[in-house]
Structure 1
């Protein structure tokens, strides 16, 4: 079955690649190979070819119909449209970030589309989007609505025909009986958890039915850092727990095995309905069924792999776009790892009970199987992931069972489900603690390059660890030592060879933000901006063995430049702070100034021409224009960006120009007021955005341009325009999202650079 699954998956991937002829070519080649194999009596090859042809033709036809006819064709015209649609999923809100406003996204399916005098009746998946979250998010799945807005195209590989930027939305009819009941059950779960703590109320619906509406960004980041994100969405483990509840209930009622199997089938259907029949839910259900079926054939791993291949084939046929999702391959890899390794590993742990052995080997097998894929996305290896999953595993099953029980009971009468909902909340509380503690572990994540060679090395390491795992698990003392080693590895940060070396300026890797340290000698430094969060800045300062920061400069009050200031306010002897002339956003500025004053720090506004000396470091304020804020100053604006304090910092003969977020207007004004912008290192304005002034960059004469930006950030920083501009002006370029924290040292006429990810120059 594995070759059959491979053929189906390849066919689905090619058919949905956006190339209109590729799937036809593949189908023709597969058909010829199938006929040739049939004539020669190769039945297995014939079956593979037949499945490949079938998936290629059906998926190709669906891709053609979706993107090149009807709604898909209209989306290319970007016309104003009036459409009658059915809501098919829950609203997802993306918080405002910088100049981008808050947006809501709502999945839907078209019934009828009217544009430019044309009326098209077609059922095609689309996304509704808009700034009015109240309007979009107060709809119900299954409801018929009429929307007016601009229809825009999506990527050719997308599983949707287009997107409508909604201007107006009118409800037409309510959801049908089935959708209304599902909505009621999901809402009942939320009501059943109303007496739980806020984070418990957020996690229980997320874990049980995939309702992430109440999950905040900090919680998401903590779960991501500890490899627990699968607990914030529907997974195969949820299905297994639901099946366990049904089997226990059926056995208690005295049902025989045949009826229990019928109940299991109904349970799968109920699970998919309640969790929404979205692609991710279908994938989770399929993988959960595979795991359950494998457990029912005497733990035969070959049978389990065959079941997995069947599931992959069915999914590729049912939803060919699914194979282009990284979630699909993570599920496949995790399931394959569990099926292939866990049975043998459990058997060698004769010194432990089976539940204990399963609790240990299942997350370990899943992590080894998925780590190269996870690292390709995160550029890191989660050391705490194994420990977090081991610690959280005992609480997932009870929380799922109690949560599902609460949902069903509360759908009949809300008070009936409250006790189970409250208990489910306390079942997930340890998971919340585990995620929080794991996310703050000093060495919780190790940076790893994502070149093909590096990922190949990582895959080899994972296979090597899988090879020696049985030897370790067979011996209780070796297992305990291994666990102790993992714990220590998550606590003790290993040094990066050769880093920082000699340094005069370090641009810290703080994610999507900015923080620069200037060496003042004898363990002291000047800090310019503090990044978005305390932990990354704390790690950078600790790695440099800096113990005194007498002076802090904050270019402006945006969160990505001041959010991490708490990392240094205590224990580093900060006594002076220079801040922007523009106290905007007003609330942030006042709170931060008061916060620093409470720590005994003298806060002063920047004065152009001001020079401060701290040990071997000199800080010169080149520009800090006093700009009148627009309105109350509650969010990011160009005026706030252009109010950034422009600082030239020097240490040991190395000069670095730290520019905050100044945009072209601010760059031009700075040149007029202070023509001498000469420096060796330019910290790119606004994280290397596309909004740059060439004359400003030329005036700096910098030899190195550094972009301080977060990995895979939504802004596209650093932009290709900024990187190309640096190269055109003969500047070397480095970026924190790929190179990590960057240490810079002047050696004669050359600059020596080292990154924590291994880059050197």
Structure 2
């Protein structure tokens, strides 16, 4: 229920206030206080939902019109206008004809007409946006190389790991921009206006990453059509290959230079902090996650704390709380905070608040969640300026309506959807749930915090599942634990940001103070992500999201029914604890994985390598980590591995090291060993950075070294030879090659050795003979030395590759060569994860959920 301000008992205003009383809201003019009523009396009133239908209709219409054929959009808009024109006539019928009453009979048709008009306006704007993206010269330019002048509209970002583009691809920088001029073979020279995405392959990406929004560039690029899912956002994708330094036509404007200097100042102040706080503090304050390590970034995602590092309404609310008072007074007609302390009038307070909102958007960048929060805050400041109650739910609806009309592409933005849903849940579900918890004896602040975290998670989880194919089981407790630290971090972080340009030592002091709650948030994220059941796999897509929504509703109904019954409530709590903690016998009992007595597991990590060899108990030797941290972490969780005495990386290609943060998450890792050839340099630096952040020593493998873990696992390093880097060996040919003995089995792990290196290995190791198990080199590619297979004569050959990969792995002739030497071939792309155990007659294989 919302509340309405009621006039307090009239009192005489001071003489100095008489002249200004006419310009104030009556509740403040009658209060007898210079600052107005500090706590206006309030009474219950129905929630004002009048703006919800227009906002929802405009959102839906814009989402459907984006990318739709122009004729379809025009026909729908015309139909909406016709119906909207007819509806008001229904309100002029005689009152007796309507059972709902005369006032309702008159108002409903008009309200429906206004809703349809909003939908028509949104569809029209979305249709015009789509038409502009498809207009000439963009279709003619596709496939050509042309010269463009563009203006950046957002901060640059680095692309994902190289696995998408090949292990030797140069670093890629992504930049959103608006094209203003094009010169091409078919288009000539002409003015254009369209949003584009720049994909820059730069040997020196740091020069591109320093660019600020509003910077104008001139560049030559190949034109490609955007991917189907992004066709409503961009007119084209411009690929700039072998880029040197950016050609800047004109620098950023004064506002963005100021914002850039403030952001740089905060980063500089944070650079003096230890450990995770160095990268996490800028993410929490201004949404700059460029310094977050992959391991911490993954932990934040798993624990449902992503909204803290992308900047949302929570950060803006905390900034405004300093000015206008506690959040509990957000719905009242008065203000507290610094405004009340310094005696600022309502209008002056509103003006300062609007200035803070504008500065917040400029510094934190106009992302969808920031825009939604800024418009809501602007409407609240308008209400404050007039002395009216700040009605938050209508403000949210108005913000949605205005933003969708301003930028129809927000209608398909997941970030915007999640921001609106989270805010709506805090305004509707959270107060009711908080009141229910207080009635059951939970104190006020904990009840409100728990209700807010639960409401936001329940509403947002189905949407997150659509694109992540998983849901967090620890999001609510992690948000509760981290929530208390967010306020100090944001306030102290903004103090550091403001003081950095002219008093860096002071800014460093503020950053140091903020580092303590920042480190607490990092500890919560890592601790939650380390739990075996922190994340639950779930079907992705809209069908999976709908299924999770249905399950969530059913769970809420069940929880309400069993809340007063101790034994059913206890059983539900135990089930949840078991799902999160996943004691090792439980998954094995339910899934049969891993099989008893396993010695080696080839994890199903997609197109890459990730192998685990048991060392007894919960310890294991890990060789390579695949491209995906989540998949590697999941494999190790299922195997019950919590201690890694040695994590060996055969070489630095991303399909072997990209999942390193997943292997480190929540586990004790004693050391990381890798090849001495730092190729490619970018991935070698990535490994060094992740190892340093985790505090794990990184050493180079030594040819001929022998090691042992436990009673039944030992190995020898066969390759690369000493001086491999000086000899110019490439990454694949410098792969660390191991000959292992485990549980009576001999296993050869040759990484991605190519034929030339395979031949040299055979020549230098004449003692290399038959093995029980071979991990086929380079994912079973066609480039193999047949004599290697003949000498090894493996009984079992394991191929680790991704389903439907674009490399043709494994090659048919490689499979044929293995079969010729009598090997049984198993592959992760068709068989899933592979486990090997020692049998009476040699190795015995088990595929996931199917006996081998």
User: Which of the five TM-score ranges fits, normalised by the shorter chain?
Assistant: 0.7 to 0.9
Show the counterpart of 2:370. 281
Show the counterpart of 2:812. 694
Q: Does 1:531 align with 2:640?
A: no
Residues 52 and 679 (structure 1 numbering): CA distance in 2 closer, same or farther, change over 3 Å? Answer: farther
Show the counterpart of 1:265. 354
Larger CA deviation: 336-345 vs 14-23: 14-23
Q: Is the CA contact 2:182–2:189 (under 8 Å) kept in the aligned structure 1?
A: yes
Q: Does 1:60 align with 2:134?
A: no
Larger CA deviation: 420-429 vs 491-500: 491-500
Distance 2:250 2:426 in 1: 46
* Matches for 1:492-571 after TM superposition, within 5 Å: 492-493=582-583, 494-495=586-587, 497-500=590-593, 506-510=601-605, 513-516=608-611, 529-532=623-626, 540=635, 543=638, 558=653, 560-561=655-656
Show the counterpart of 2:455. 365
Query: CA offset at residue 489 of structure 1?
Result: 4.7
Query: CA offset at residue 287 of structure 1?
Result: 6.4
Q: Is the CA contact 1:364–1:386 (under 8 Å) kept in the aligned structure 2?
A: yes
1:511-562 CA distance string (max 9 Å, x none): 7643356899x99999894424999768746745799999999876656547
Among 131, 134, 137, the alignment partner of 2:206 is: 134
Show the counterpart of 2:723. none
Distance 2:86 2:208 in 1: 55
- Please give the secondary structure, in 1, of the residue aligned with 2:239: strand
Show the counterpart of 1:145. 217
Distance 1:171 1:232 in 2: 31
1:566-624 CA distance string (max 9 Å, x none): 889x999x9xxx999999889899714489757675414289xx998754756478999
Distance 2:612 2:278 in 1: 41
* Matches for 1:161-310 after TM superposition, within 5 Å: 161-166=235-240, 167=243, 169-247=246-324, 248-286=337-375, 305-310=393-398
Residues 580 and 314 (structure 1 numbering): CA distance in 2 closer, same or farther, change over 3 Å? Answer: closer
Distance 2:288 2:719 in 1: 47
Distance 1:482 1:295 in 2: 46
- Please give the secondary structure, in 2, of the residue aligned with 1:150: strand
Among 481, 506, 516, the alignment partner of 1:391 is: 481
Show the counterpart of 2:532. 442
Q: Is the CA contact 1:112–1:119 (under 8 Å) kept in the aligned structure 2?
A: yes
Residues 446 and 594 (structure 1 numbering): CA distance in 2 closer, same or farther, change over 3 Å? Answer: farther
Distance 1:382 1:271 in 2: 30
* Matches for 1:114-125 after TM superposition, within 5 Å: 114-116=183-185, 118-125=188-195
Residues 696 and 79 (structure 1 numbering): CA distance in 2 closer, same or farther, change over 3 Å? Answer: same
Distance 2:74 2:209 in 1: 41
1:469-518 CA distance string (max 9 Å, x none): 56788999999998898666533345262322757775434576433568
CA RMSD of aligned residues (A): 5.2
Among 73, 80, 89, the alignment partner of 1:23 is: 73
* Matches for 1:638-717 after TM superposition, within 5 Å: 658-662=775-779, 664-667=781-784, 669-670=785-786, 674=790, 683-685=799-801, 689-692=805-808, 693-697=811-815, 706-707=827-828
- Please give the secondary structure, in 2, of the residue aligned with 1:121: strand
Q: Normalised by the size of structure 1, how large is the TM-score? A: 0.76
Query: CA offset at residue 340 of structure 1?
Result: 2.5
Distance 2:816 2:678 in 1: 30
User: Runs of 5+ in structure 2 lacking a partner?
Assistant: 1-50, 92-108, 325-336, 688-697, 721-737, 762-767
- Please give the secondary structure, in 2, of the residue aligned with 1:349: helix
Q: Is the CA contact 2:703–2:718 (under 8 Å) kept in the aligned structure 1?
A: no
1:458-478 CA distance string (max 9 Å, x none): 323311333355678899999
Query: CA offset at residue 237 of structure 1?
Result: 0.4
Q: Is the CA contact 1:11–1:23 (under 8 Å) kept in the aligned structure 2?
A: no
Distance 1:437 1:647 in 2: 46
Q: Is the CA contact 1:620–1:647 (under 8 Å) kept in the aligned structure 2?
A: no
Among 388, 395, 402, the alignment partner of 2:492 is: 402
- Please give the secondary structure, in 1, of the residue aligned with 2:508: helix
Query: CA offset at residue 24 of structure 1?
Result: 2.4
1:361-417 CA distance string (max 9 Å, x none): 111111111122222333322222222111110111221122222222334543443
Residues 257 and 510 (structure 1 numbering): CA distance in 2 closer, same or farther, change over 3 Å? Answer: same
Query: CA offset at residue 105 of structure 1?
Result: 1.9
1:183-212 CA distance string (max 9 Å, x none): 222223223434322532322222222222
Q: Is the CA contact 2:233–2:409 (under 8 Å) kept in the aligned structure 1?
A: yes
Residues 678 and 313 (structure 1 numbering): CA distance in 2 closer, same or farther, change over 3 Å? Answer: farther
Q: Does 1:9 align with 2:83?
A: no
Among 429, 443, 450, the alignment partner of 1:341 is: 429
Q: Does 1:316 align with 2:386?
A: no
Distance 2:622 2:290 in 1: 36
Q: Is the CA contact 1:526–1:614 (under 8 Å) kept in the aligned structure 2?
A: no
Distance 1:623 1:199 in 2: 32
Among 95, 114, 120, the alignment partner of 1:47 is: 114
Distance 1:257 1:525 in 2: 64
Q: Is the CA contact 1:555–1:561 (under 8 Å) kept in the aligned structure 2?
A: yes
Among 142, 149, 152, the alignment partner of 1:87 is: 152
Query: CA offset at residue 660 of structure 1?
Result: 4.2
Q: Is the CA contact 1:223–1:229 (under 8 Å) kept in the aligned structure 2?
A: yes
Show the counterpart of 1:108. 177
Residues 535 and 450 (structure 1 numbering): CA distance in 2 closer, same or farther, change over 3 Å? Answer: closer
Residues 592 and 146 (structure 1 numbering): CA distance in 2 closer, same or farther, change over 3 Å? Answer: same
Residue-pair matches, total: 698
Larger CA deviation: 132-141 vs 46-55: 132-141
Q: Is the CA contact 2:151–2:179 (under 8 Å) kept in the aligned structure 1?
A: yes
User: Runs of 5+ in structure 1 lacking a partner?
Assistant: 631-638, 641-645, 651-655, 709-732
Residues 47 and 552 (structure 1 numbering): CA distance in 2 closer, same or farther, change over 3 Å? Answer: closer
Residues 249 and 20 (structure 1 numbering): CA distance in 2 closer, same or farther, change over 3 Å? Answer: same
Query: CA offset at residue 430 of structure 1?
Result: 0.8
Residues 2 and 508 (structure 1 numbering): CA distance in 2 closer, same or farther, change over 3 Å? Answer: same
Q: Is the CA contact 1:11–1:26 (under 8 Å) kept in the aligned structure 2?
A: no
Distance 2:838 2:82 in 1: 64
Larger CA deviation: 152-161 vs 55-64: 152-161
Distance 1:206 1:657 in 2: 45
Show the counterpart of 2:6. none
Query: CA offset at residue 258 of structure 1?
Result: 4.0
1:260-301 CA distance string (max 9 Å, x none): 3333333222221222234443134356779999999xxx99
Distance 1:229 1:754 in 2: 32
Among 149, 157, 160, the alignment partner of 2:234 is: 160
Q: Is the CA contact 2:472–2:534 (under 8 Å) kept in the aligned structure 1?
A: yes
Residues 164 and 264 (structure 1 numbering): CA distance in 2 closer, same or farther, change over 3 Å? Answer: same
Q: Is the CA contact 2:311–2:370 (under 8 Å) kept in the aligned structure 1?
A: yes
Residues 285 and 536 (structure 1 numbering): CA distance in 2 closer, same or farther, change over 3 Å? Answer: same
Show the counterpart of 1:605. 718
Residues 195 and 527 (structure 1 numbering): CA distance in 2 closer, same or farther, change over 3 Å? Answer: closer
Query: CA offset at residue 347 of structure 1?
Result: 1.2
Distance 1:400 1:286 in 2: 20
Larger CA deviation: 336-345 vs 485-494: 485-494
- Please give the secondary structure, in 2, of the residue aligned with 1:495: helix
